Amino acid sequence: MLIIGIAGGTGCGKTTVVNQILNQLPEGEVGVISQDSYYKDTTHLSYDERVKINFDHPRSIDFELLEQHLKDLKNGQTIEQPVYSFVKHNRTGDTIKTIPRKVMIVEGILILTHPELRDMFDIKIFVHADSDERLIRRLKRDITERGRDIDEVLSRYQNTLKPMHQQFIEPMKEYADIIIPNNKYNTVAVDIVKTIINEKLQ
Ligand SMILES: Nc1ncnc2c1ncn2[C@@H]1O[C@H](COP(=O)(O)OP(=O)(O)O)[C@@H](O)[C@H]1O
Ligand SMILES: O=c1ccn([C@@H]2O[C@H](COP(=O)(O)O)[C@@H](O)[C@H]2O)c(=O)[nH]1
């Protein structure tokens, strides 16, 4: 199994890059695990308490479960990947059966911050987009897809997202094997990653 970790700040385009990679590759050969599925279960909290969580700090992630699931997949076992709701700020209680594939992609803002998980990646990719570009994309996406308003996005950006990005996410570039500049759609870089994956699949 080839395990590829794709990190980068919110709105840099990780999900888009993953979809571009999956597009045109043989169906069923590449699996995806999203770090978002592993936000800690907060069912014991009220909605008002959950909104106050710092979702950009590594402690918000259940890295133990994520690491265990990746190990299970490596050992040929199917896992139940939790489904996360950004609208409710919590797991939904549903899971998605995720079966081991020749290539597994793990994507998320904080996946390179956890040394044990980081060591499991054969290839580490960091997707870079400038912070103003990321904020614009996040504003548009979170308002249209995640039920936020402009005040929520901007105050979260100033209070947690920006400082957490500077403290935890940006320094992870140091560990990256490949940095994809993604202020604009970068088909050349995506094609290079696809070529690497295709070699593994042959
Ligand atoms: N290179 C790009 N140029 C312009 N918009 C982009 C680019 N990549 C992604 N987007 C858009 O930005 C938003 C955030 O992208 P997404 O892939 O969800 O980022 P991430 O998963 O890193 O948070 C989406 O609406 C997406 O369509
Ligand atoms: O309940 C939640 C959990 C996370 N977030 C925000 O999501 C981003 C990470 O997702 P991307 O798709 O990489 O943008 C993170 O910056 C959190 O602030 C949330 O709003 N609510």
pLDDT in tens, 49-102: 999 999 999 999 999 999 999 999 999 999 999 999 999 999 999 999 999 999
In a domain, 139, yes or no: yes
ipTM over 0.95: yes
Distance 44 CA to ligand 1 centre (A): 32
Distance 121 CA to ligand 2 centre (A): 22
Start-to-end CA distance of the chain, whole Å, equals: 13
Distance 63 CA to ligand 2 centre (A): 16
Residue among 55, 59, 155 whose CB has most ligand 2 atoms within 8 A, to mutate: 55
In a domain, 67, yes or no: yes
Determine what percent of the chain is predicted with pLDDT higher than 90.
95
Sign of CA dihedral 164, 169, 172, 174: negative
Sign of CA dihedral 145, 106, 127, 165: positive
In a domain, 101, yes or no: yes
In a domain, 202, yes or no: no
Q: What is the CATH number of the domain that holds 63?
A: 3.40.50.300
In a domain, 200, yes or no: no
> What values do phi and psi take at 183, rounded to 5?
-65, -30
Ligand nearest to the CA of 108: 2
Q: Give 79's strand partners.
A: 98
pLDDT tens-place string over residues 107-152: 999 999 999 999 999 999 999 999 999 999 999 999 999 999 999 9
> What pLDDT, on a 0 to 100 scale, did the predictor assign at position 168?
98
> What pLDDT, on a 0 to 100 scale, did the predictor assign at position 202?
82
